[in-house]
Amino acid sequence: MTDLSVTSPVERIARVIAAEALSANGDGVETSASGMVDAVWREELNRATAVLKTLREPTPEMVEAGRAAGADPAEIWSAMVRTALAEAPSA
């Protein structure tokens, strides 16, 4: 079963964008950025919303993955997102 989140997708995406910019694990220099992320993630809400809006239009591969996932909406969503990630160009 797919885990369910209690945090909104927009907030989670905004936090990831902030963490990527701040953390040494991303493009930043902070070895422990969680406190800074907590302080600034709201500044990334517009970017996060834009990212999530792009997922309104699935690719044909995402639709097929959703169909194959069964009837559970959480499993369908997870399958479609996993497919989208697999379609991503390499960095």
What are the average pLDDT values for consecutive 10-residue runs of the chain, which has 91 residues?
87 94 83 90 96 92 96 94 90 65
pLDDT on residue 39: 94
Q: Is the dihedral of CA 26, 29, 35, 38 positive or negative?
A: negative
pLDDT on residue 77: 93
Region class of 5: left (phi > 0), else alpha (psi between -120 and 50), else beta: beta
Q: At what angle do helices 60-68 and 73-87 cross, to 10 degrees?
A: 140
DSSP 8-class letter at 59: -
